[in-house]
Amino acid sequence: MSQHLTDPSIGALRLLGGATILHVGPGSPLEWVASIRQGFPIQVLDSLAANIQATPAELAQLLGISVHTVAQRRRLGSLTSQQSERLLRLARVLARAEEVFDDLSNAFHWLTSPLIVLRGETPASLLDTEVGGELVMDTLGRIEHGIFA
């Protein structure tokens, strides 16, 4: 795994609206686990959408859920633990990609573009599993070090 300047959880926390919304510290994995298990408050979706300038449909697609499901979760006030975990994985990857590409817009574009190294898959499409998330993070590390330049 590559050495990077910041823990991706710090950037993820910023993208998701900060500690006041999530009630977690960036360097506190047990607080993240508790927050995921409880289900993130729906405000994290609004924060991420604003930060990456994504439409509700784009955000739903990134999370692998329907717009209807997002509306349902909005009425309930929180995401499920599975949706929260996937959202954190997405936010961590975005934060890391922002660090690699020096720009959040470029990071979002990379995340949603098919890559030859991923056999034509988009990095975002792999974030439904932890293994896929690790592969995407590894790919970012390789890009940072010029291996896929």
DSSP per-residue string spanning 102-140: TSHHHHHHHHTS--GGGTT--GGGGTTSHHHHHHHHHHH
Query: Which structural domain, as residue segments, surrounds residue 137?
Result: 8-144
Q: How many CB atoms lie within 10 A of CB 4?
A: 15
* 8 Å CB contact between 1 and 135: no
Residue 117 inside a domain? The answer is yes
Q: Is it the case that residue 90 has pLDDT exceeding 70? A: yes
* Number of other CB atoms surrounding residue 75 within 10 Å: 7
Q: Is residue 3 part of a domain?
A: no
pLDDT in tens, 110-125: 999 999 999 999 999 9
Q: What is the pLDDT of residues 5-17, one digit of tens each?
A: 457 889 999 999 9
Structural domains counted in the chain: 1
Phi, then psi, of 78 in degrees rounded to 5: -155, 165
Residue 149 falls inside a structural domain: no
For 91-149, how does the pLDDT look when each residue is reduced to its tens digit (9 = 90+)? 999 999 999 999 999 999 999 999 999 999 999 999 999 999 999 999 999 999 888 64
Does the residue 1 lie in any domain?
no
The answer as to whether 131 is a domain residue is yes
| Residue 62 to residue 17: CA distance in whole angstroms | 18
Q: Which residues pair with 78 in a beta bridge?
A: 41
Cβ burial of 139 (10 Å; 0-12, 13-18, 19+) is buried
